[in-house]
Amino acid sequence: MTTLNMNDPKYFDPFLKTLEDNTAKNYHTENAVLLATNFGTNQHKTDMKFISDLHKKDGYLTHQNSLAKYYIVKDILKNVKNYLKFYGVNKVHRGLAKKIYSKL
């Protein structure tokens, strides 16, 4: 069985590819949920689930919810470095937040 190693420089490549594919399909809310799930706090996860549920229920994202999603994603990306530092891999994945942002 293959063991995942966060110190592998290509560790996040499948994640980045998923973000890119979702963006091509206009799945921006799904990307925000992925970001919250993988890098966000419990509050980010709760807020993004709420926004995603409203998006699914209404069939569209209101301007207010779109702004909320934007600021949640911005806050998550601001803290990606701290997340990586916590796991001791921040030097291996330098610039990950910028790579993620480029895929959104």
In-domain check, residue 19: yes
Q: Has residue 3 been placed in a domain?
A: no
pLDDT category of residue 3 using cuts at 50, 70 and 90: low
Q: Is 6 part of any domain?
A: no
Both tokens of 70, joined, read 């934007």
Residue-wise pLDDT tens digits, 22-77: 999 999 999 999 999 999 999 999 999 999 999 999 999 999 999 999 999 999 99
Handedness of CA 81, 83, 86, 91 (dihedral sign): negative
Q: What are 64's two structure tokens?
A: 């207010």
pLDDT in the model for residue 86: 87
pLDDT at 1 over 80: no
What does the pLDDT look like over 77-103, one tens digit per residue? 999 988 888 888 878 788 899 999 999
> Which residue range(s) make up the domain with 70?
13-103
pTM to 2 decimal places:
0.88
Q: Report yes or no on 30 lying in a domain.
A: yes
Beta strands in the chain (DSSP E): none
How many domains does the chain contain in total? 1
